[in-house]
Amino acid sequence: MARPQAQATPFYHFYRLVALAAAPLLWRRVSRKLAAEGIPPERQRERLGHASQARPTGTLLWFHAASVGESVSVLALVQRLLEMRPNAHALITSGTAASAKVLAARLPARCLHQFAPLDAAGPVRRFFEHWHPDAGVLVESELWPQMIVTARKRGIPLALLNARLSKGSLRNWGRFGDTFRYLTDQFCMIRTQDRATWDGLLALGANPETTAQGPNLKAMILPPPVNDADLTRMRAAFPGPLWTAVSTHEGEEAQILDAHLAARKMLPGLRLILVPRHPTRADAIVKLISDRSLSFARRTQGATPGTAEVYLADTLGETGLWYALAPLVFLGGSFGKAGGHTPYEPAFFATPVLHGPHVANFAESYAQFDAAGAALKVADAAALTQAVAQLLQDPDRIMQMGAAAQTISQSQSQAMTQVAEALLSALALPLCAPPTSV
């Protein structure tokens, strides 16, 4: 016997009123930010629900993700679903300029991108009136209440994939348990990326019949693109010992540069490609490099690597190039509070991974990589120094680690097909909960 459908709560109605009042202020803030990042006005208005492209004819599958990592994580699933439904199209929505720029170069055929509408009545209404998606898939923690409830009111079946909520988020939602249950009851299918989130959702009242722990989408991503001509040029430009630090965050570059300086004393001629997660921070990173009297070149300024000790790759969408080029990578976000970034992208290129201790976003993945000898945890800059110097002088171990990483990566293909089949089945269920009243 199906459990009773949760009803809209006073807090949900309060949220709608607050969102309505706050929408003009939010619009001013997000439009200024998008403009500062080079997004033209007609695309900025997508955040108000004004589409900048026509709706494709036929079936439209809608996927919503927050930013770069979440958007990229869903691309392999989108591609597999479109292969299984050759007459369908896909729409991916996200909220950041960085995600739009990265997706522009990586969207599969029959797939387009728009910025997500603000979670207020007008933008959400305009979005659905234009796009009329046949089904919706939300990724990770994108629980925007009006977007969710309005979709179900319009009869759009929804799934929540790769759900991940931190302990703090779960604790905060616990204060509004009835509202949380109301929102999660809108989904025909919920799959979490880890056991902790699964346990947390069930404790807050998510339906156990539709909620399960599923494979991590970030383990099933498509390989990032590589420009072969650029790769050939870069290989010629870096003939000696080389390592990369990718997706670094504020506070990490100083430690990485210190480790690089120390490692150069053990490995003369060592060079570093530094790839910040947010290229807009490049000027601040240049100062850190200069303060250490290291020579450098910047990719956005058209500079060739030359003999620069540090090559600052302050661009978006080129991580595949750096993974393919260097024999060893340190993945950022793991020395600070960011929670780490996916080890599966470098695994496509058989590139071993070094990482710090803070990888909560991918705790289970890193545990698997570490156990298989495909990755190595380093506690701090001193440990990073030793790992870089030792591994780059041990090509056999580098090769073994890379092969282990590639084996893990290749094991995900069958799991992706299973996820796609389960998703199509769930979204087509005739017993999917009916639209709720608001």
Helices (H) and strands (E) in the chain, counts: 19, 14
The fold adopted by the segment(s) 228-411 is: Rossmann fold (3.40.50)
Global confidence as pTM: 0.77
pLDDT of 432: 41
Q: Do domains 39-218+415-427 and 228-411 have the same CATH topology?
A: yes
Strand locations in 46-143 (E): 60-64, 89-94, 111-115, 135-139
pLDDT in single tens digits along all 438 residues of the chain: 466 777 899 999 999 999 999 999 999 999 999 999 999 999 999 999 999 999 999 999 999 998 888 888 889 899 999 999 999 999 999 999 999 998 988 899 999 999 999 999 999 999 999 999 999 999 988 899 999 999 999 999 999 999 988 888 999 999 999 999 999 999 999 999 888 899 999 999 999 999 999 888 877 888 888 999 999 999 999 999 999 999 999 999 999 999 999 999 999 999 999 999 999 999 999 999 999 999 999 999 998 899 999 999 999 889 999 999 999 999 999 999 999 999 999 999 999 999 999 998 888 899 999 999 999 999 999 999 999 999 999 999 999 999 999 999 887 766 788 888 889 888 874 334 444 545
Q: Which residues of 287-310 are buried (b: 16+ CB within 10 A; e: fewer)?
A: ebbeeeebebbbbeeeeebeebbb
Which two structure tokens, joined as six digits, stand for 89?
């199209």
Q: How far apart are CA 70 and CA 189, in angstroms?
A: 18
The alpha helices in 62-176, defined as continuous H runs, are: 68-73, 75-84, 97-104, 121-131, 145-153, 167-174
pLDDT of 431: 36
Strands 310-312 and 271-276: parallel
The fold adopted by the segment(s) 39-218+415-427 is: Rossmann fold (3.40.50)
- N- to C-terminal Cα distance for the chain? 24
pLDDT of 413: 66
pLDDT of 409: 86
70 belongs to the catalytic site: yes
- Token pair 């997500």: residue: 116
The answer to whether 183 touches 161, Cβ cutoff 8 Å, is: no
pLDDT of 160: 95
State the catalytic residue, choosing from 70, 252, 309, 345. 70
pLDDT of 112: 96
**% helix, strand, coil for the chain, step of 5:** 50, 15, 35
pLDDT of 429: 40
For the chain, domain boundaries: 39-218+415-427, 228-411
**Phi, psi values for residue 97, rounded to 5°:** -65, -40
pLDDT of 262: 97
> Vertex 67, ends 363 and 157: CA angle to 5°?
90
Q: How far apart are CA 352 and CA 333, in angstroms?
A: 17
CA contacts within 13 A on the Cβ side of 268? 0
